[in-house]
Amino acid sequence: MQAIPSEERAAHEELQPIHHEPKSFFFKYLWSLDHKMIGRQFLWAGLGFLLVGGLLAMMIRWQWAFPGKPVPVLGSIFLRSQGGAIGPATYMTIFTMHGLIMIFFAITPVLIGAFGNFLLPLQIGARDMAFPWLNALSFWTFALSLVFVILSLFGELGAAGAGWTTYPPLSTNVGTPGSGQTWMVAAVFVTGVSTIMGGINYVTTVIRHRAPGMTWMRLPLATWGLWLTAILNVLFVPVLGSAALLLLLDRLFGTQFFIAGATASVSGGGDPILFQHLFWIFGHPEVYILILPAWGIVSDLLSFFSRKPANWYRGTVYAMIAVCVLSAMVYGHHMFLTGFTPLLGQSFMLLTLIISVPAELLFLNWLRTVWQGSIRLTTPMLFSLGMLFVFGMGGLTGLYLGATATDIYLHDTMFVVGHFHLTMAAASFVASLAAIYFWFPKMFGRRMNETLGKVHFWITLVCLVTVFSGQLLAGYSGQSRRLYDPYQYTFLKHLLGVNRVASYAAFLLLFAQFIFIYNFIRSLIAGEKAESNPWQVSTLEWFTASPPPYHNYDRIPTVLRGPHEFADPEVRRRLGRDFIGQAEELPEAMPPAVASAG
Amino acid sequence: MIGAEAMSVIRYRPRGAREQATAWIGMVIFLGSWAMMFAALFFSYGMLRARLPVWPPPGTPPLPRLLPGINTLIIGLSSVAMQRGLSAARRAQAAAVLPAIAAGFLLGLAFLSLQFVLWTGLWRAGLRPEGGAYPSVFYGLTAIHAIHVAVGLGGLGWLLTRAFFHAFGPARNLGLRLWTGYWHFVGAVWLLMYLTVFLI
Amino acid sequence: MTLLLAPLPEKGIGLPHDASLHGWRIDALINETSVYVGLLFVIMVAWVVLACLRHGPRHEARFDHGTSTRSIAVGLCIAGAIFFVVDGPLFVNSLILARDVFGNFAKVEADPKSVRIEITAHQWAWVARYAGPDGKFNTPDDIVTFNDVVVPEGTPILFQLVSTDVIHSFNIPNMRAKIDAVPGMVNRVWFEAKETGEFDIACAQHCGLNHYKMKATLTVLPRPDWEKWAAEASANSARDYDPDDREAHWGWDWSEHARI
């Protein structure tokens, strides 16, 4: 173990001086420069929109279970003019807004905005982000994009309706002339700007503000996941930005980047497929943007609650890096049926299938971490194992879609919907919940109720699996996605039963979330006070107060070891416990007080 | 109360060498990120051009080369001026900083004005954005670039006022350094745009 | 010509009835993959459950970072083995199927029996055009049908598709055929029906308000019946031909794979 020179510590203290905590409401809660507060701002905004996106999902599920029937409760509030029932135009906007809100305005702010902000500086032993001002600007830019989303909901001719993928020409004035679509494309652009600001901050912070001794291979895996996500964001969100810009030019200024065929005024029009290239060059990395933080968090939690070091830490890191490198090279599998040349399609197929190797390594590492452990089935651990379950299902079903032959039949079916919900939605959601249950004590200084958490877990897992298995089965039986009334088709009529079961599970899933909301709010107000390290784990953030002071660390820690030092016999002998913090010095012998107590 | 606190949050604070290096790294990451956006625009141009048999399509007025060529020279000179201002600040030649930034700013303004002349000329010649992929690429790419030039001019204007009130020095030139980096980036993008959209 | 049964409903959860000559090859690949995938998933879940049961709080955790050469080698070998056993067949079979069957347009084009059909998709209908006896598209004897595609049994059917407005996707689940119809480009797909009957043609790509109703019927007739139908329909078309109706002459020259 090499010693940390004292000059390096001094340089860190000089680089990150302790600032005074602002006291006024405006600087404490609104224009706060504190990464923990900005993280909480993202958390509230993200959870709020998660609920909006969830309610939209319920309306879709209702339509598939009881097509054309008035929607209970929601219908009488929002769809009064249509007698409470969902019409085809409304349905279009519902599934479009559901997708866009969930991806850009719910999961992204919760996983990346909230946990990225909250965790990164704490886990690397920093006092704040590298650019606190940019961080605040990032949140308020995000808030501006939320205003655009709300404007879209009230747009003339309804909200955006071209699907979350926003394929032109449907998303140009040819297909969706209403202002709702324009507002939504603008919202995606603005939220992209916010994401890039956050990404620049995260990338720079981890490069520059790691505490002395926090080498790259001592970073917690959650930090690795969030950092790699930030890199992907910085690289690929601008590509989405350019697609959104060009689409806005087409919509507002009459250019013809994406309009072709009979709708173009002259031959030599644009190319609708161009948008798909731009969209998926961003869109496939986006899948990993949403899942890498989840992988990182789960990798840490599995080790923490197995009380055992993470299996082959470096392997997990390399696998995540490999996935990032491959992520932009596989996007063509979303476009197998657009008329690719065979060679192009087959190249994308090969790269897509290769990405399963690092994914398998990740899984093997997770499975071998829990094996021979001393597993504590706390709520965060249950959610982490639940993530393995749903992500396992989602990842394995991806195989069928990555191969050109099987994709012919399964492309654009509910099978795709089930697959990407299991990976992006269920896995990210379950990992977000694991993270919330785990870091709640650190964020708010109180503990959440474990019993309610476990009840919440079991209902959530069973329902998620039922809903998305239902989608997989419906798709396997041929049901196309985005159908207002699938039963128009003779070959889909018999799927009403499957869809209904999935819908009932979805409604139950929603109700289970009220257990969570109750638990969350109750714990926030009256939860048991948490000490600094309630889970008895080893990363830096658990060695400062809960919640951490404004400046995080009174003294910037000096890191001595990796993040998963559990079950070390030497530590047990000298400290009398099964873990040692990343910055804790190992005493020569067991302190007498502990020795006599033990 | 709030006033004093606001001042403590936004007041100008001299930054140490390490902090300046951090800011520069952030800027480089930002420019790398933004380069991806322009790369996507150039990719779009390439794809649209590759699928048409003739480029420009028959019946469209050709793009001029001389005027944008002069403009390339102007934005290049503007970059040189900014770089000279930065090195003057580093060498503590306070008197040379202000004229250099002023020259950079004015040349930037000239660039935007000539762009405007270019657009109006082609518009009058009948090139309209709704005329297909060719005019879309021309107007779209140059307009998006011009917005970046305008943002840069805002930054240069701010540098100008700061240079007017307190000269930049060897240890205090972070803002100048960051905006000069941005300005070089915008110039480099223009050079690429001139080569691809106008010349070949 | 009165074979017109409605499309038959499907039963149970599973792949829809396969009425094409080559669809079984996709089905077999899907089902083979399902076996591997199911096995992997069961092993994973069993592993986690077993770990939770056997290595609970009372079990003493082993101090092991999993970094021994042996441990890493085992991990890499397992990942590699899964890749070759599960991904390998998918990749190889996809290549073979693309070369021999679904992407083998040269063979279909060379077959003198092949029937060629041009499809124009628009919001929200499929319009089909047959060349008629002269074998040329956009001539008075072309048969044009609306949301109604009639094809012979046991014959390769070759489609070229365009779209006039937004992107659609031409999807015949019972024939395991699907391809996007994109404005500004011509795409193609082919299949061969092995049995007669009526089947649904669906749109698989969200194309706006009535996407869910963009439905056409595929009728597969015995070859002699189909020939009789084609002759009759072509005669009717020639009789009703209106040279001034420019809108109706949307067909394109088949041999040119030109973009519109």
The string of pLDDT tens digits covering residues A292-348 is 999 999 999 999 999 999 999 999 999 999 999 999 899 999 999 998 888 999 999
Residue C162: inside a domain, yes or no?
yes
- Beta bridge partner(s), residue A480: A413
Mean pLDDT of A114-121: 95
- The predicted structure's pLDDT at residue A591: 58
Residue C108 forms contact with A (CB below 8 Å): no
- C238 and C161 part of one domain: yes
CATH number, residue C125: 2.60.40.420
- C27 and C142 part of one domain: no
Number of domains in chain B: 1
The identity of residue A151, as a single letter, is: L
CA distances from A350 to A5, A404, B155, B166, C43 (A): 49, 10, 47, 60, 26
Residue A598 pLDDT level (bands cut at 50, 70, 90): very low
Residue of A nearest to C40 (CA): A396
Q: How far apart are CA A178 and CA A159, in angstroms?
A: 8
Residue B12 clears pLDDT 60, i.e. is over it = no
CB B104 within 8 A of CB B156: yes
Residue C87: inside a domain, yes or no?
yes
Mean pLDDT of C63-90: 95
Mean pLDDT of A97-108: 95
pLDDT (tens digit per residue) in A243-302: 999 999 999 998 999 988 665 444 568 899 999 999 999 999 999 999 999 999 999 999
- C169 and C219 part of one domain: yes
Please name the residues in contact with A573: beta carbons below 8 A apart, sequence gap of 6 or more: A590
- C125 and C236 part of one domain: yes
- C175 and C195 part of one domain: yes
pLDDT (tens digit per residue) in A469-485: 999 999 999 999 999 99
Residue B54: inside a domain, yes or no?
no
- Beta bridge partner(s), residue B153: none
- 8 Å CB contact of C7 and A490: yes
Distance from CA of C228 to the nearest CA of A (A): 28
Residues 441-480 of A with CB under 8 A from C: 473, 476-478, 480
Residue C16: inside a domain, yes or no?
no
Residue A588 clears pLDDT 90, i.e. is over it = no
pLDDT (tens digit per residue) in B111-120: 999 999 999 9
Distance from CA of A400 to the nearest CA of C (A): 7
Distance from CA of A199 to the nearest CA of C (A): 31
- C39 and C134 part of one domain: no
- C208 and C130 part of one domain: yes
pLDDT (tens digit per residue) in B137-189: 999 999 999 999 999 999 999 999 998 887 788 888 899 999 999 999 999 99
Mean pLDDT of B56-83: 92
Distance from CA of C109 to the nearest CA of A (A): 17
Please name the residues in contact with A221: beta carbons below 8 A apart, sequence gap of 6 or more: A295, A296, A297, A299, A300, A310, A313, A316, A317, A563
CATH number, residue B77: 1.20.120.80
- C152 and C215 part of one domain: yes
Q: How far apart are CA A28 and CA A550, in angstroms?
A: 10
Mean pLDDT of A423-447: 95
Residue C207 clears pLDDT 90, i.e. is over it = yes
- C75 and C128 part of one domain: no
- 8 Å CB contact of B43 and A269: no
Q: How many CB pairs under 8 A join A and B?
A: 135
Would you call A521 exposed, middle or buried from its count of C-beta atoms within 10 A (0-12, 13-18, 19+)?
Answer: exposed
- The predicted structure's pLDDT at residue A587: 85
Number of domains in chain C: 2
Residues 115-134 of B with CB under 8 A from A: 128-134
Please name the residues in contact with C88: beta carbons below 8 A apart, sequence gap of 6 or more: none
- The predicted structure's pLDDT at residue A376: 96
Mean pLDDT rounded to a whole number for chain A: 92
- The predicted structure's pLDDT at residue A255: 92
Residues 291-320 of A with CB under 8 A from C: 306-315
Mean pLDDT of A438-454: 96
Residue C141: inside a domain, yes or no?
yes
Question: Any idea what the Cα angle at residue A380 is, between residues A379 and A383, rounded to 5°?
Answer: 85
Which residues form the domain of C219?
Answer: 112-248
CA atoms within 13 A on the CB side of C209: 9
Q: What is the pTM of this model?
A: 0.94
- The predicted structure's pLDDT at residue A116: 95
Nearest to A409 among C17, C164, C176 (CB): C176
- C38 and C82 part of one domain: yes
- The predicted structure's pLDDT at residue A28: 85
- The predicted structure's pLDDT at residue C242: 85
Residue B42: inside a domain, yes or no?
no
Distance from CA of B183 to the nearest CA of A (A): 19
Task: Please determine, looking at this structure, whether the domain spanning A29-258+271-592 carries the CATH number 1.20.210.10.
Answer: yes
CB A130 within 8 A of CB B26: yes
Residue C41 clears pLDDT 60, i.e. is over it = yes
Among A24, A26, A134, A200, most B C-beta atoms within 10 A, so best to mutate, is A200
Backbone angles phi, psi at A583, to 5 degrees: -115, 10
Chain B partners within 8 Å of A196 (Cβ)? 30, 33
Residues 231-260 of A with CB under 8 A from C: 259-260
Residue C2 clears pLDDT 50, i.e. is over it = no
CB A206 within 8 A of CB A196: no
How many Å separate Cα C137 from the centre of its chain? 24
Tokens of A176: 């969706």
Residue C6: inside a domain, yes or no?
no
Residue A76 pLDDT level (bands cut at 50, 70, 90): confident
- 8 Å CB contact of A130 and B129: no
Residue A592 pLDDT level (bands cut at 50, 70, 90): low
Would you call A307 exposed, middle or buried from its count of C-beta atoms within 10 A (0-12, 13-18, 19+)?
Answer: buried
* DSSP 8-class letter at B40: H
Name the packing angle between helices A379-402 and C88-97 (round to 10°): 30
Helix (H, G, I), strand (E, B) or coil at B135: helix
- C42 and C81 part of one domain: yes
Would you call A365 exposed, middle or buried from its count of C-beta atoms within 10 A (0-12, 13-18, 19+)?
Answer: buried
- 8 Å CB contact of A277 and B43: yes
Residue C18: inside a domain, yes or no?
no
Residue B144: inside a domain, yes or no?
yes
- C126 and C218 part of one domain: yes
- 8 Å CB contact of C44 and A271: no
Strand order in the sheet with C216-221: C148-152, C216-221, C197-203, C168-172, C177-181
Among A255, A278, A281, A556, most B C-beta atoms within 10 A, so best to mutate, is A255
